[in-house]
Amino acid sequence: MQRVFTILVLFGALMLTGCGSRPAAPVQDLGGGQDVTRFALTSLKGTRNGDRLDVAAVFGDGASRIEVELHFRVTPPTTLESGRWQGFGAQGNVRERSSTFLGGQSGPPSIGGSFDLHGPAGQPLYRIRIPVQPLDRPI
């Protein structure tokens, strides 16, 4: 009986780990035509000044990179006021899908979210994801 119980527990643990979702990729190609499967968030800096938060993020794979500038208004609710990006010889505007801001009253502010990078004609080319993390390096 003990052996059957042990096997059932191990089988249950195996099933639970197999059902877990993988974290979303930091950069997803939505039509930009570039291989971004190895891209990672390599740099994240930000500075809060009153109700404004300016953020600079860099995603890359060692050979190529995407640089993103984000400007938030952090009065509740936090919203992206403007954003620009450049990379792969292109540039454009950033549109917010979702964002999370933690004020940082006892430490640096934290930001995270999902954003679409649009091309010159307004079409979405890439989606970036920033996990919520402290901005401990100022711009």
Question: Which carries the bigger pLDDT value, residue 15 or residue 43?
Answer: 43
pLDDT of residue 76: 87
Three-state SS at 62: coil
What is the CB-side half-sphere exposure of residue 25 using CA atoms within 13 A?
Answer: 13
So what's the pLDDT on residue 125? 98
Indicate if the pLDDT at residue 8 is higher than 50: no
Give residue-wise pLDDT tens across range 69-125: 999 999 889 999 999 999 999 999 999 999 999 986 778 999 999 999 999 999 999
- Interstrand relation of 90-102 and 79-87 (parallel, antiparallel or unpaired): antiparallel
CA gyration radius, the chain: 19
Please tell me the predicted confidence (pLDDT) of residue 2.
57
Residue 14's pLDDT band (boundaries 50, 70, 90)? very low
The two beta strands, 40-49 and 27-29, are unpaired
Question: For the whole model, what pTM was predicted?
Answer: 0.82
Instruction: Centre a 10 Å sphere on the Cβ of residue 87 and count the other Cβ atoms it contains.
Output: 23
Give the chain's mean pLDDT: 88
